[in-house]
């Protein structure tokens, strides 16, 4: 076999090696979470959501090309007070029955810096809540844990990608009680996302 015949094979192998990995964020351990916090009289409301799914395509050789979509099940949002939780899911607030998903779809990354296995960047994408989609940019960190899937889920081999993000939204931008209950629930909501995705081999 001539060397020239090997070139396509070598190119194909190189392309396969450099191909982005697709990480699945449906965590079998149920640890993935989104935490939200907003001011209210008496005490701030702190809650979390655990119904997280979605996929992210990540290339450790080219983190700036990362794309993907993270989905949070509205029904999984919870707060420690049962009455507040009931109100939050009701048609007056998030309307979980009509809008069962909260999503963020990453479109582009900017200001990308990578140190060892941690990449920080500003991700721009579309955030959808309560049926309203809005473009936004948020700081994000991506930690690539090569060959660590087995440490978390025995009998599986592969990589992990941990995504952390912290950003704020205004509930009025998403038509949630617009202009109402301003004295009871703050319009500003702090969101923190801590999620790990798996790419099995």
Partner 1 sequence: MKKILQLLAVLVLVAAGATWLATGAHVGWTKISRPNGTLDEVTGIVDQTPVPCFVAGVDFLGASAMVAGLLAGASLFFRNKKTNTTKN
Q: Give me the residues that bind partner 1 (CB under 8 A), please.
A: 29-33, 35, 42-43, 48, 50, 78, 80-82, 84, 143, 145, 148, 151-152, 160, 162, 194-196
Q: How far is the CB of 67 from partner 1 (least distance, A)?
A: 21
Q: Compare residues 136 and 145 and give the one whose CB is closer to partner 1.
A: 145
Which is closer to partner 1, CB of 70 or CB of 196? 196
Q: How many residues does the chain have?
A: 201
Structural contact between residues 102 and 51, judged by C-beta atoms closer than 8 angstroms: no
Tokens of 134: 């809005």
* Of 48 and 126, CB closest to partner 1: 48
Strand ranges (DSSP E) for 2-66? 21-24, 33-38, 45-49, 52-58
Q: Least Å distance between CB 47 and partner 1?
A: 9
Give the containing element (helix H, strand E) for 97: none
Residues 6+ apart with CB under 8 A from 100: 73, 74, 75
End-to-end CA distance of the chain: 31
By beta-carbon proximity to partner 1, the closer residue of 69 and 85 is 85
- Rank residues 108 and 120 by Cβ distance to partner 1 and give the closer one: 120
Nearest approach, Cβ of residue 160 and partner 1 (Å): 6
Q: Is 150 left (phi over 0), alpha (psi -120 to 50) or beta?
A: alpha
Do the beta carbons of residue 125 and residue 135 sit within 8 Å? yes
Please name the helix (run of DSSP H) or strand (run of DSSP E) that holds residue 94, with its range, or none.
none
Nearer to partner 1, 106 or 196 (CB): 196
Rounded least distance, CB 29 to partner 1, Å: 7
Q: How far is the CB of 44 from partner 1 (least distance, A)?
A: 9
Query: Residue 79 CB, nearest distance to partner 1 (Å)?
Result: 9
């Amino acid at each position: 076999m001539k060397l020239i015949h090997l070139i396509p094979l070598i190119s194909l192998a190189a392309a396969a090696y450099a191909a982005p990995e697709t990480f699945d964020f449906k965590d079998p351990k149920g640890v993935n979470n989104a935490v939200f916090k907003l001011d209210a009289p008496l005490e701030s409301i702190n809650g979390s959501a655990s119904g997280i799914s979605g996929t992210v395509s990540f290339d450790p050789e080219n983190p700036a090309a990362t794309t993907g979509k993270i989905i949070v099940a509205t029904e999984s949002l919870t707060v420690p007070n049962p009455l507040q939780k009931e109100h939050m899911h009701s048609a007056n607030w998030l309307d979980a029955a009509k809008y069962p998903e909260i999503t963020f779809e990453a479109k582009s990354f900017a200001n990308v810096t990578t140190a060892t296995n941690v990449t920080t960047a500003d991700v721009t994408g579309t955030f959808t809540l309560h049926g309203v989609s809005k473009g936004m940019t948020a700081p994000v960190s991506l930690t690539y844990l090569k060959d660590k899937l087995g440490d978390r889920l025995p009998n599986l081999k592969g990589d992990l990608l941990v995504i952390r993000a912290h950003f704020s939204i205004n509930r009025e931008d998403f038509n949630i009680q617009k202009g109402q209950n301003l004295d009871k629930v703050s319009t500003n909501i702090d969101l923190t996302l801590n999620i790990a995705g798996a790419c099995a081999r």
